[in-house]
Structure 1
Amino acid sequence: MKSNVGGIDRVLRIVVGLVLIGLAATNTVGWWGWLGAVPLLTGLFSFCPLYTLLGVNSCPVKKS
């Protein structure tokens, strides 16, 4: 599994995921807030299956 999520994209996914889960846990937004687990996990693992299907990569290019 090759990383395809990096930089600010990764940080935003983690933050948005945590916020949504927090709002769902406090019963502020309802059940759909638990969908915050998706961006949280993709941010933590630095891999997004949808990015693979679309050919998107937000990781910086590593110079050798």
Structure 2
Amino acid sequence: MGSVGRVLRIAAGAVLIGLAATNAVGAWGYMGVLPLVTGLFHFCPAYSLLGLSTCPASGR
């Protein structure tokens, strides 16, 4: 996962969790945990299953 993708996932996850915690959106906002965790751990299971990569050719 590339660095831009990681930053976007972490930000989106944090915003969704914050909105859910303040009752601005429903409980579905806690699904923001998924992009937050995938961004923090630099790993997306869906990318592995589909054979996708957003990393530069450097190998990570």
- Give the partner amino acid of 1:41: V
1:61 aligns with 2:57: yes
Amino acid at match of 2:2: G
- Tell whether 2:13 aligns with 1:13: no
- Which stretches in structure 2 are left out of the alignment for 5+ residues? none
Q: Which runs of 5+ in 1 are unaligned?
A: none
Deviation at 1:62, TM superposition (A): 1.4
Spell out structure 1 runs of 4+ moving beyond 3 A: none
